[in-house]
């Protein structure tokens, strides 16, 4: 069995490759595919096959997918272009005779008002129409999304957000990657939809407490209005589009769209998910 992992030069894809190797998948049964040639060279050193791909370049996908059985379709990073890009990948998989696709979607993609959901919902519909057996990994929030917050709170002692008392059930990226490797290497997951999230849903005060431990100083949670948040983000140098996107995500958090603790991730892993503080400490 040959497994193609797309996005392998990104953080999640690289971890999926590493977890596949840890679980005993032979290196020559893995094709690590991505755009960054320097990072592909690092993966070459692990003994896996590598391929340069771009979701927008269908011929590159055809070459990478040739002879493969399983596709680990890691969702693209270009918000607004994902549907077209994922369509290219699914069509290339079908042409290559791939018999199984595992896709990293987002929480409750088919019903959620989450700002990130529409492109994932559309991709899930493309998978359904493809006729290829698939598994949906509806990944929740990554603790690593706060990597950029750590230097700011270390300098100011303040975590500022407009999420109110909304909660987030985050897990570490390696948790999601390990779950993907388990699904890729075990039977019985075809047709399954997993709502993956951390075991504990925390709020802004909990995050501030965890950050205090990690950065070694007291951190307070400053809960502001969306308008105040927008002003703070643009004042820090973010463009209006990015600031608006982040404020919208906080609105989703305030509405409880990232708070579900289904237990699916821990059940797949056979262990608890990585606690918030531990996840933050690992990236600090």
Question: What confidence tens digit (pLDDT) does each residue in 208-221 have?
Answer: 999 999 999 999 99
- Cα distances (angstroms) measured from residue 76 to each of 40, 62, 121, 197: 17, 17, 14, 20
Domains belonging to the chain, first-starting first, are 3-139 (3.40.50.720), 145-167+199-259+274-283 (3.90.25.10)
Residue with tokens 């802004």: 204
221 phi and psi, to 5 degrees?
A: -95, 120
pTM for this structure?
A: 0.96
CA-CA distance, 260 to 195, in Å (whole number)? 9
What local confidence, expressed as pLDDT, does residue 80 receive? Answer: 87
Element (H, E) at 182: helix 173-185
Average pLDDT, the chain: 97
CA-CA distance, 259 to 181, in Å (whole number)? 24
- Write out the two tokens for 183: 């699904």
Mean pLDDT of 104-117: 96
113 secondary structure, DSSP code:
-
Q: Are 149 and 109 contacting, i.e. CB atoms less than 8 angstroms apart?
A: no
Residue with tokens 């918000």: 79
List the one residue out of 96, 101, 91 whose CA is nearest residue 58.
91
CA-CA distance, 138 to 107, in Å (whole number)? 5
Q: Which residues of 178-195 are buried (b: 16+ CB within 10 A; e: fewer)?
A: bbbbbbbbeeebeeeebb
Query: What strands lie across the sheet with 100-106, from one edge to the other?
Result: 49-52, 30-34, 3-5, 70-73, 100-106, 134-139, 193-196
Mean pLDDT of 231-237: 93
CA-CA distance, 143 to 210, in Å (whole number)? 11
Res. 283 pLDDT band, cuts 50 70 90: very high
What local confidence, expressed as pLDDT, does residue 161 receive? Answer: 97
Residue with tokens 């909990």: 206
- Say if residue 224's pLDDT is above 90: yes
What local confidence, expressed as pLDDT, does residue 72 receive? Answer: 98
168 secondary structure, DSSP code:
B
Task: Give the Cα-Cα-Cα angle 15, 20, 25 (nearest 5 degrees).
Answer: 155
Res. 1 pLDDT band, cuts 50 70 90: confident
What local confidence, expressed as pLDDT, does residue 116 receive? Answer: 93
Contacts of 229 (CB under 8 A, 6+ apart): 160, 161, 162, 243, 246, 247, 250
Residue with tokens 């690593």: 144
Render pLDDT for 59-70 as a digit per residue (tens, 0 to 9). 999 999 999 999
Q: Are 142 and 121 contacting, i.e. CB atoms less than 8 angstroms apart?
A: no
Q: Cα torsion for 150, 195, 135, 79, to the nearest 10°?
A: -50
Q: Are 140 and 197 contacting, i.e. CB atoms less than 8 angstroms apart?
A: yes
Sign, CA torsion 64/66/67/69: positive
What local confidence, expressed as pLDDT, does residue 153 receive? Answer: 96
- Write out the two tokens for 67: 């002879």
Q: Are 266 and 199 contacting, i.e. CB atoms less than 8 angstroms apart?
A: yes
CB atoms within 10 A of CB 90: 23
Mean pLDDT of 149-159: 96
What local confidence, expressed as pLDDT, does residue 22 receive? Answer: 98
Render pLDDT for 72-99 as a digit per residue (tens, 0 to 9). 999 998 988 999 999 999 999 999 999 9
Mean pLDDT of 147-162: 96
CB atoms within 10 A of CB 218: 12
């Amino acid at each position: 069995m040959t497994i193609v992992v797309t996005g392998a030069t990104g953080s999640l894809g690289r971890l999926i490759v590493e977890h596949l190797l840890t679980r005993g998948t032979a290196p020559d049964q893995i094709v690590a595919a991505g755009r960054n040639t320097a990072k592909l060279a690092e993966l070459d050193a692990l003994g896996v096959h590598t391929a340069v791909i771009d979701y927008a370049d269908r011929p590159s996908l055809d070459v990478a997918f040739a002879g493969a059985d399983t596709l680990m379709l890691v969702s693209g990073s270009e918000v607004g272009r994902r549907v077209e890009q994922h369509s290219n990948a699914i069509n290339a998989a079908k042409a290559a005779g791939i018999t199984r696709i595992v896709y990293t979607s987002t929480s409750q993609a088919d019903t959620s008002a989450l700002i990130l959901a529409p492109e994932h919902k559309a991709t899930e519909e493309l998978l359904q129409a493809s006729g290829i057996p698939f598994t949906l990994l509806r990944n929740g929030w990554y603790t690593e999304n706060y990597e950029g917050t750590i230097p700011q709170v270390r300098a100011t002692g303040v975590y500022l957000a407009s999420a109110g008392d909304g909660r987030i059930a985050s897990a570490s990226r390696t948790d999601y990657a390990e779950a993907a490797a388990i699904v890729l290497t075990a039977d019985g997951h075809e047709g399954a939809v997993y709502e993956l999230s951390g075991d504990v849903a925390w709020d802004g005060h909990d995050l501030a407490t965890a950050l205090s431990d990690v950065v070694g100083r007291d951190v307070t949670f400053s809960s502001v209005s969306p308008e105040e948040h927008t002003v703070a983000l643009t004042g820090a140098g973010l463009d209006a589009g990015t600031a608006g996107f982040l404020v919208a995500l906080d609105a989703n958090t305030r509405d409880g769209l990232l708070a579900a603790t289904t237990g699916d991730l821990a059940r797949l892993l056979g262990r608890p998910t990585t606690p918030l503080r531990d996840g933050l400490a690992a990236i600090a």
